[in-house]
Structure 1
Amino acid sequence: MAQQEIPEIDLAEENRTALVRGVEDGSFKCNLTQLVTGNENPRQQMFKEDTAAAKKIDASILEEAKRLFRLKHAHLAQLLAVGFINDSRYLITALCPWTLEGEMAKARDRSPPAYLNPLVVTDWIIEITDAMSFLHDNDTPHGNIKPNNILIDWENKARVADFALPGKKVRYYI
């Protein structure tokens, strides 16, 4: 069986139809996580005059993304493709519209304050633990687990995101 390669999609406005083809459900509903590879990235900023070093960093990030593309687990944010606009790279993952951080904030901000359903939270803890165990079994430590990195999908299942790739990431929803 041939190994599937990670799609690379140009996210420039004129190529958005490529994104539609790249997302499994045929819509724009996906998460984009920006991999900051421009001058904003402190690791790359020191190489801004050295384009060979900058390209080496970009290549290492793409190699890591290819490795992550092969990781399939029910409770990981599923990587669909790598997108790019000019020199910016993005991970394109299946849409998970909520985060654990957002769910906790909604409960806290209710009047009177509410609590998350303990049965649902127990399920999330089991799902997160299962995903973390899978990552470690595949030599992919997370290193930055926090409520903002736990996504909640349409079926109210927890999915661990932002694992393995170092550096700054910015998540967008489209």
Structure 2
Amino acid sequence: MHYQIYLSVCPPEKMSEDDYQEGTVLHNYVFHEIIGKGGFATIYRVTSLVFKQDFAAKVIKTDKSENWSTFQQEVEALKHLNHEHIIRLYDTLRDCDKFIMILEYCENGNLQKEIGKTGLPHDRLVQVIYQIVDALIYCHENNYPHCDLKPQNILLDSYGRVKLCDFGLTIFQEENSLANSFQGTPLYTPPEIIRNLPHSKFLADIWSLGVMFAVMANGKIPWLSNSPEQMKMEILRGSIILPRKAHPKVIELIKKCIVVNPTGRISLQEIMKSPLFQGYELKYCSMSRLKALGATAPTGMVSNELTAITARNIGIDRSKRLPFAKYNTSLTRMKMLGLNGSRLAIPLCGTTSATNTTGRSKFKNIHENNGKKSVSRKSTFYKLFDRIE
């Protein structure tokens, strides 16, 4: 296959006005098909020529100030959030008027695809709810409310594991502070935001969770009307349609989330103590066992070193965030190479541990110091990060 190589930051000519065509190579990443598109960004599957690994490239045009703000907020949030059920940020790039995030690639798409028109089977529903709440507890404990929870912002990896994504509306928030911004997806927006009242973003997340749980159980939005104005009135009253086929414990959980008075909503910690999770054990199965998707799972351990690197293992020099959030490349290289004493390994299917019992990486080559071979590996990493200086 012949690639069109862009050696400069600004390619000499664009193949289309907005989108990268398949086969375009930018900063050692080969662009493939578009896997998602929204108002702020276009997302591509890309392959690293250095690591032979697929990633997702989220491309945001900076022609509007709110786009730049969205990009900056998402990078800032993902830089601080390191959790097995939150999407991982690996790199940032710039191409003329575009900013690009290189993110963990989740080949099975978003949760809405699996939900379909009928909802999730009960066992799968419990598993997904548990993982979403687990991720959101971590976000809230670190003072990052998500602010746009919906099935489209929940991705699934090869094993069906949840990956919370799209942190473009997320900003650091003190626990007891009230917000006055009114962004989000209307169908999942709580009454206090519709009323333009000062509100807690953390409590707003609980409402959105309840709506999402109802969609996951039933495959449908829990509002009766298709008219925006009528639906708005239903949301203000909290008049939801409960999924009939759902387990009573699921229905009870939904009712405790979708409460008009924000202070009356169940807490995330209370959700985790719900009878719904009694006897629940976190197990990862291959997507081939999930009827809705029927994907083939990878066998054995994923063999690429980058899969184990998390957002927290990427250093960003905060003093140089404007006009673009630059990487602290020296620190990044050290962390990528495992030279800072942090030895990361990839969890096997069915586990959540990130290290083996000896603390050594399960990769045999990347942390070894065998003369010229080690130097060669270092130079490869140096080439990957010598971009935005």
Shift of 1:164: 4.7
Shift of 1:37: 1.9
Query: TM-score, normalization: structure 1?
Result: 0.63
Q: 1:120-153 CA deviation, whole Å, 9 max, x = no partner? A: 2211101000111111111111000011000011
Q: Pick closer, same or farther for the CA change 1:118–1:89 going to 2, 3 Å.
A: same
Distance of 1:11 and 1:125 partners within structure 2: 43
Q: Pick closer, same or farther for the CA change 1:20–1:141 going to 2, 3 Å.
A: same
- C-alpha contact (below 8 Å) 1:80/1:94 kept by paired residues: yes
Q: How does 1:9-88 map to 2 (within 5 A)?
A: 13-17=24-28, 20=48, 26-27=52-53, 29-38=54-63, 41=64, 43=66, 57=68, 61-62=71-72, 65-88=75-98
Distance of 1:104 and 1:11 partners within structure 2: 41
Shift of 1:42: 6.4
Distance of 2:151 and 2:60 partners within structure 1: 20
The higher relative CO (CA closer than 8 Å, separation ≥ 6) is in: 1
- C-alpha contact (below 8 Å) 2:154/2:165 kept by paired residues: yes
Q: Pick closer, same or farther for the CA change 1:162–1:64 going to 2, 3 Å.
A: closer
- C-alpha contact (below 8 Å) 1:149/1:162 kept by paired residues: yes
Identity of aligned residues (%): 22
Shift of 1:64: 5.4
Identify the residue that residue 144 of structure 1 maps to in structure 2: 148
Between the two proteins, the alignment pairs up a number of residues equal to 134
Q: CA RMSD in A?
A: 3.1
Distance of 1:102 and 1:147 partners within structure 2: 9
Residue segments in structure 1 that go unaligned for 5+ positions in a row: 1-9, 45-56, 109-113, 169-174
- C-alpha contact (below 8 Å) 1:100/1:150 kept by paired residues: yes
Residue segments in structure 2 that go unaligned for 5+ positions in a row: 1-8, 12-23, 30-46, 171-182, 185-389
Q: Pick closer, same or farther for the CA change 1:14–1:119 going to 2, 3 Å.
A: closer
Shift of 1:104: 1.6
Q: 1:34-70 CA deviation, whole Å, 9 max, x = no partner? A: 33422xx3647xxxxxxxxxxxx56x94475145223
Letter in 2 for 1:26: K
Larger Rg: 2
Q: Is 1:103 the counterpart of 2:114 in the alignment?
A: yes
Distance of 1:84 and 1:95 partners within structure 2: 19
Distance of 1:96 and 1:61 partners within structure 2: 20
Q: Pick closer, same or farther for the CA change 1:17–1:122 going to 2, 3 Å.
A: same
Q: 1:60-84 CA deviation, whole Å, 9 max, x = no partner? A: 9447514522321000011111133
Distance of 2:119 and 2:80 partners within structure 1: 37
Partner SS state of residue 81, structure 1: strand
Partner SS state of residue 146, structure 2: coil
Q: Pick closer, same or farther for the CA change 1:101–1:139 going to 2, 3 Å.
A: same
- C-alpha contact (below 8 Å) 1:11/1:83 kept by paired residues: no
- C-alpha contact (below 8 Å) 1:140/1:163 kept by paired residues: no
Partner SS state of residue 119, structure 1: helix
Distance of 1:26 and 1:146 partners within structure 2: 32
Identify the residue that residue 126 of structure 2 maps to in structure 1: 122
The structure with more strand, counted as a fraction of residues: 1
Shift of 1:100: 0.6
Partner SS state of residue 92, structure 1: strand
Partner SS state of residue 26, structure 2: helix
- C-alpha contact (below 8 Å) 2:77/2:144 kept by paired residues: no
Q: Pick closer, same or farther for the CA change 1:160–1:141 going to 2, 3 Å.
A: same
Shift of 1:118: 1.6
More off after superposition, 117-126 vs 158-167: 158-167
Distance of 2:120 and 2:153 partners within structure 1: 18
